[in-house]
Amino acid sequence: MTALDPRLAGMRRVDGGRFLMGSDDHYPEEAPRRPVRVDGFWIDQTPVTNREFAAFVDATGHVTVAERAPDAALYPGADPALLVPASACFQRQDRPVPLNDPFLWWALVPGADWRHPRGPDSAIFDLLDHPVVHIAYADAEAYAAWAGKALPTEAEWECAARAGCDTAYPWGEERDPGGRRVANYWQGGFPWQHPRLPGEALTTAVGSFPPNAFGLIDMIGNVWEWTCDWYGTLDSAPPTSCCVPENPRGTTEAASRDAHDPAGFGRKVLKGGSHLCAEEYCRRYRPAARYAQTVDSSTSHIGFRCVVRDMETAAPR
């Protein structure tokens, strides 16, 4: 009966089961490498595209977080002049800069949103098959609910990205197998040197790179993707009595907040890396990699994809 479920069009089946999650060889927040088990699920073959998100907006009238002025009550002490519809955009530099200050290459741009990915004078007419960006967590969640789907857990996402492999990358231990680039990540010196022409979109159309062994596209690179898990270390996750955790989840919203800003917004786990991940700066174009992002944030390199879990496919909708 699941084959008749219209939600599953454009999705790929992941059988689930036991796999090794995390890594002991890269960033500390990925450790330890440990066995976990997930139930079977379906996952979108590609990140949600501008074309697909436009259909959602046309059907629902949804206004994204980036298109609304922030609530001043949620940002006490903020300059009122900054509380305007805006989103964070990458700013390519023209020379090498210190890599310990992201504000050198990120700027909050008024008028930047999913329709205007590089600012108010840009558009998506030529980017309809690129992943939608400038999506805050609430926007991704709203799309998933409209589509009758859900956002993946971190474990589900990583299981799908690994595609049955226990290597650093879904295709092996080499980033560029045989010298061939197989995902959209930064090339050259970050954030200034890149072989593309100035002004060219940094995202790529879905399908520009080969799928993994599960038939999934852009699980590595292109855009970061939201998961539904609150961010934390393994120590902060709820305890389990099972030696191999089943369908593990993240921590609590309160525990996910930045220790330096405990009154701030909760943070969700992002997975997959993006076109801005670079060898010398952010080597997070790997299944085990993870990043904490506050739920109120939207940027020019964050998108999402959805899942339908086996328990939810008993009858067509």
* Burial of 193 (C-beta count, 10 Å sphere; 0-12/13-18/19+): middle
Region 14-18: what's the mean pLDDT? 95
Tokens matching residue 85: 């519809």
Q: Where is average pLDDT lowest: 72-81, 146-155, 188-197?
A: 188-197
Tokens matching residue 97: 């800069």
CB count in 10 Å sphere of residue 261: 9
SS3 assignment, position 307: strand
Nearest one of 39, 44, 46 to 15, comparing CA atoms: 39
Residue 198 pLDDT exceeds 60: no
pLDDT of residue 199: 53
Locate tokens 């045989």: which residue?
Answer: 178
pLDDT of residue 1: 39
Cα 64–68–73 angle (5° rounding)? 120
Measured CA to CA in angstroms, residue 121 lies from 57, 110, 116, 200 at distances of: 20, 11, 7, 14
How far is 21 from 165, CA to CA, in rounded Å? 11
pLDDT-based confidence at residue 313 (cuts at 50, 70, 90): low
Mean pLDDT of the chain: 92
Q: Residue 100's Cα: distance from chain center in Å? A: 22
Residue 236 pLDDT exceeds 70: no
Tell me which DSSP letter residue 235 carries: G
CB proximity list for 188: less than 8 A, separation 6 or greater? 194, 195
Q: Which residues pair with 291 in a beta bridge?
A: 270
pLDDT of residue 81: 84
How far is 109 from 209, CA to CA, in rounded Å? 30
Q: Which residue has better confidence, 10 or 200?
A: 10
Tokens matching residue 12: 């790929």
pLDDT tens profile 110-119: 999 999 999 9
* Residue 147, Ramachandran bin (φ over 0: left; ψ between -120 and 50: alpha; else beta): alpha
pLDDT-based confidence at residue 200 (cuts at 50, 70, 90): low
Locate tokens 């991704």: which residue?
Answer: 140
pLDDT tens profile 88-97: 999 999 999 9
pLDDT tens profile 263-272: 799 999 999 9
Strands, sheet with 267-271, edge to edge from the N-terminal-most edge strand: 290-294, 267-271, 224-230, 302-303
Q: Which residue has better confidence, 140 or 240?
A: 140
SS3 assignment, position 303: strand
Q: Which residues pair with 17 in a beta bridge?
A: 38
How far is 244 from 32, CA to CA, in rounded Å? 13
Region 41-48: what's the mean pLDDT? 98
pLDDT of residue 43: 98
Q: Which residue has better confidence, 103 or 238?
A: 103
- Tell me, which fold does domain 2-312 have in CATH? paralog of FGE (formylglycine-generating enzyme) (3.90.1580)
Residue 235 pLDDT exceeds 90: no
For residues 160 and 14, the answer to whether their CB atoms sit within 8 Å is: yes
